Amino acid sequence: MKIYPQEIKDGVSELVQSSASVAYCMPASLCEEIESETQKAGDKIKAESANPKQIDLYYLKSCLVSTGWNKNDDVFDSAQTWAARNTPEDKQFNFMHDENDIIGHITGSYVVDREGNRIDSEIQPPEFDIITEAVLYNSWTDPENRQRMSQIIAEIEEGKWFVSMECLFAGFDYALLDGNGKASLLERNEGSAFLTKHLRAYGGSGEYEGYKIGRSLRDISFSGKGLVSKPANPRSVILDASRAFSYNDSVLVNFPKGDNVMSDVTLLETQIADLRSELASAKEDNETLRSQLEAASAKEIGEAIAKLEATVAEKDATIKSLEASVVEKEAAYQEVFTALEAKDADMKEKMEELQKMKKEENMRKRMASLLDLGLETEEAEESLASYEDLDDATFETILAAMNKMKKKVGVKKEEEDEEARMKPKAEEVTDEAEAEEAAEEALAEVETTEATLVDASDEQDELAATRASVAEWLENNVLSK
């Protein structure tokens, strides 16, 4: 819809753009058979029906719209309404204006006069109503839907539901009604757009200098129907449900055919002249204000630029200071890191030296222990090399076993020396056998002790090597003597 500068200035442009549809509610009426030719207009409207007596359809008819001026000051001009008389056909019938909840459809529409007589000619009458036929779907496989529709139909028959019409329109003109009931139609254009803000549809009072002002809709298209429980619609103006349109001789507007321009334009000419004067004054004020704004803007822009440049310079200095600080911190970090590396290297060297000294001291102690057992220096050095990989506990165990063995051998030797003096030399063989038995017992004790101390599966090779070394030493240093 076209918006005029005056409507933007008056702050009603968004309302005009967003209110391109209207709706009103009528009670939902059942279709009934005609009983006589003398029925009233309302009964005639209800009686006729297209495609009747389908068991899976529920039939409704209602008055969609009537030409004239309604209670909300919306005007349905005869010519515009006549042009839209066939647009309701095949449109949706939904529940509570929810397009995702379709419960039927509009099957047709036709025109009737004020007495309810159908008009089939193509000649436009001065006044008329548009009647729409519709059906609801009352056959559903889903039990919930079936129950729901049964309840809705029962409530329709009790008069609890309404049929709500909606229509779209592409523009409007101004309908004017003076104090004597004389109606005129004024085209909406750039010169008359100041009247928009006075329309009730856009928050106005509906009056201007003694004239009642209505909104005469143009380029109408009826878009569907909704079954509603109360006269309300979130996107359209809703009219009184029980009195959707009201007519009497004082307010019924009959617009002349032709280009629909008001014949008496005196008021309009005066208003246009005033508007032109106001427009010229506004233009002059606008030029003055524009000059002032340009001067002020130039000064403000200069000050803003200077302030921005100062801020940028300050930020640059801060960034440079931070960068220098970062470089300084990185140098200090590198110095500390280098010192730590040197300290770590020195510590490693000292630890290695300490471990070497500790090992040498341990070897010296082991060497002394072996010498104390009576081993020669060369024998002690060979044994020390064999036991180098053993821990202290294992070495002490072996040392104790060797010491115990030495004592037994010494006692035996003393006994042998004594018996040698007393017994024949042939008995020396028995003594040697006993010495061998004692050596085997000592070796078994060493093996048992060592097996107890070194029991892990991953140390079996080391244990075997130790046993072999001990056996060799016993054989060379004990059993051979």
Strands 68-69 and 183-186: unpaired
Q: Which residues contact 198 (CB under 8 A, 6 or more apart)?
A: 204, 205, 206, 207, 208, 213
**3-class DSSP assignment, residue 205:** coil
Which among 477, 22, 402, 401 has a CA at the least distance from the CA of 239? Answer: 22
pLDDT of residue 450: 45
pLDDT in tens, the chain (481 residues): 788 888 888 888 888 777 677 666 665 555 554 444 444 544 444 445 556 778 889 888 888 888 888 878 889 989 999 999 999 999 989 898 888 999 999 998 899 988 889 998 889 998 998 888 889 998 899 999 999 999 998 888 888 888 877 889 999 999 998 888 888 889 999 888 999 999 998 999 999 988 999 999 999 999 888 888 764 333 233 333 223 333 333 333 333 333 333 434 445 555 566 666 767 777 777 778 777 777 777 777 778 888 888 888 888 888 888 888 888 888 888 888 888 888 888 898 888 888 888 888 888 888 888 888 777 888 778 877 777 777 888 878 887 887 777 777 666 676 676 776 776 555 554 555 554 565 555 555 544 444 444 444 455 565 556 556 655 655 565 445 4
Q: What is the DSSP string of 314-351?
A: HHHHHHHHHHHHHHHHHHHHHHHHHHHHHHHHHHHHHH
The β-bridge partners of 67 are none
Secondary structure (DSSP) of 206-265: SEETTEEEEEEEEEEEEEEEEEESSS--TTSEEPPSS-S----TTT---PPSSS---S--
Residue 67, classed as helix, strand or coil, is coil
| DSSP 8-state code for residue 193 | G
Report the helix count and the strand count for the chain, using DSSP H and E: 10, 14
Residue 379's pLDDT is 79
Give how far the C-alpha of residue 98 lies from the chain's centroid of Cα atoms, to the nearest Å. Answer: 26
Cα–Cα dist 71/76, whole Å: 12
User: What pTM does this model have?
Assistant: 0.46
Can you give the pLDDT at residue 449?
46
CB atoms within 10 A of CB 151: 10
> Which of these, 124, 93, 97, 98, lies nearest to 111 by C-alpha position?
124
pLDDT reported for residue 252: 37
The 3-state secondary structure of 215-231, one letter per residue:
EEEEEEEEEEEEEECCC
> Crossing angle of helices 460-474/428-453, nearest 10°?
160
Secondary structure element (H or E) that encloses residue 60, with its range: strand 57-66
- Side-chain half-sphere of 282: how many Cα atoms within 13 Å? 8
